């Protein structure tokens, strides 16, 4: 049976996840994280995509991306995946696959879920009990979004920019969003949309996407998805 096409529209952010094969590591040392980010930056520029949030875990990655073209993310992920696998195989003198199948993506309702999705991504190391607070983890966009450290890889989304009149005010307002943990209901809807590659948003937003794509954005009652993203080894700063 052919795979259903993903929901992808220029100008609409998507939450993307790519996992290591059999949940095995895809990063083995500090240089690997740098190599991945370098290749990610090259691919975002080449394919006109804006990256708003990311986290590199030991055995998977989360990205929040807004494409400017219909196939921008697909081309980005293909190039990024191939170039990073080539790097790993060369450095570690290995062969074969690194990723566990194709990436998964969920189109995001910006107004309702963009900041929530950013929190979800950057809280991954905390849920995995690798650190106590997202600012302690080096390999994520929280260093820019929450701590204000320069990161040329990222493009601040308009909704993030609206948090304050300057960088200090935006970072402070953003950190305030992390005072409380995400509740189970929020975690469930994000994971369900991502694992099933559906639209994450309010009903009126889903109606809008259905009209634009002529595709169904909803499925029947979903069972609780498997929690696959947490876990790994913290390699330190």
Q: Is the pLDDT reported for residue 228 higher than 70?
A: no
Reported confidence tier of residue 220, pLDDT bands at 50, 70, 90: low
Please give the pLDDT value at position 231.
46
Whole-number percent of the chain with pLDDT over 70:
91
Query: CA torsion, points 127, 130, 132, 135, in degrees to nearest 10?
Result: -100
Please give the pLDDT value at position 6.
83
Retrieve residue 163's tokens: 């948090």
Reported confidence tier of residue 222, pLDDT bands at 50, 70, 90: very low
Dihedral sign of CA atoms 125, 130, 131, 132 in order: positive
Q: Do residues 203 and 167 touch, judged by C-beta distance below 8 A?
A: no
Compute the average pLDDT of residues 190-215.
94
CATH number, span 14-213: 3.30.70.1290
Please give the pLDDT value at position 3.
66
Compute the average pLDDT of residues 18-28.
95
- Cα 123 to Cα 56, 100, 131, 182, 219: the distances in Å are 11, 22, 9, 9, 27
Q: Do residues 42 and 62 touch, judged by C-beta distance below 8 A?
A: no
Q: Read off the pTM.
A: 0.91
Sketch the domain layout of the chain as residue ranges: 14-213
Ramachandran class of 110: left when φ > 0, alpha when ψ lies in -120 to 50, beta otherwise: alpha
Q: Do residues 52 and 13 touch, judged by C-beta distance below 8 A?
A: yes
Poorest-pLDDT segment among 1-5, 115-119, 121-125, 229-233: 229-233
Q: What share of the chain is helix, strand, coil (3-state, %, to 5)?
A: 45, 15, 45
Closest among 20, 8, 112, 25 to 65, alpha carbons compared: 8
pLDDT tens, residue by residue, 172-195: 999 999 998 899 999 999 999 999
């Amino acid at each position: 049976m052919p795979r259903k096409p993903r929901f992808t529209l220029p100008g609409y952010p998507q939450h993307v996840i790519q996992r290591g094969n059999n949940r095995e590591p895809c990063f083995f040392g500090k240089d690997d994280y740098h190599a991945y980010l370098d290749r990610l930056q090259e691919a975002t520029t080449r394919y006109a995509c804006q990256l708003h949030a990311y986290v590199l875990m030991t055995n998977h990655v989360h990205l929040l991306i807004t494409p400017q073209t219909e196939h921008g993310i697909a081309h980005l992920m293909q190039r990024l995946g191939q170039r990073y696998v080539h790097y790993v195989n060369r450095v570690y003198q290995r062969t074969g696959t690194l990723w566990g199948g194709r990436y998964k993506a969920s189109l995001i309702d910006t107004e309702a879920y963009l900041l929530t999705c950013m929190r979800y991504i950057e809280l991954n190391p905390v849920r995995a009990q690798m650190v106590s607070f997202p600012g302690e983890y080096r390999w994520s966009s929280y260093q820019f979004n929450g701590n204000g450290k320069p990161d040329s890889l990222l493009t601040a989304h308009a909704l993030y920019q609206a948090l304050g009149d300057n960088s200090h005010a935006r970072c402070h307002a953003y950190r305030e969003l992390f005072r409380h943990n995400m509740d189970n209901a929020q975690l469930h809807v994000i994971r369900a949309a991502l694992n099933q590659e559906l639209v994450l948003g309010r009903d009126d937003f889903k109606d809008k996407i259905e009209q634009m794509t002529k595709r169904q954005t909803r499925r029947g009652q979903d069972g609780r998805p498997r929690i696959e993203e947490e876990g790994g080894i913290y390699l330190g700063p």
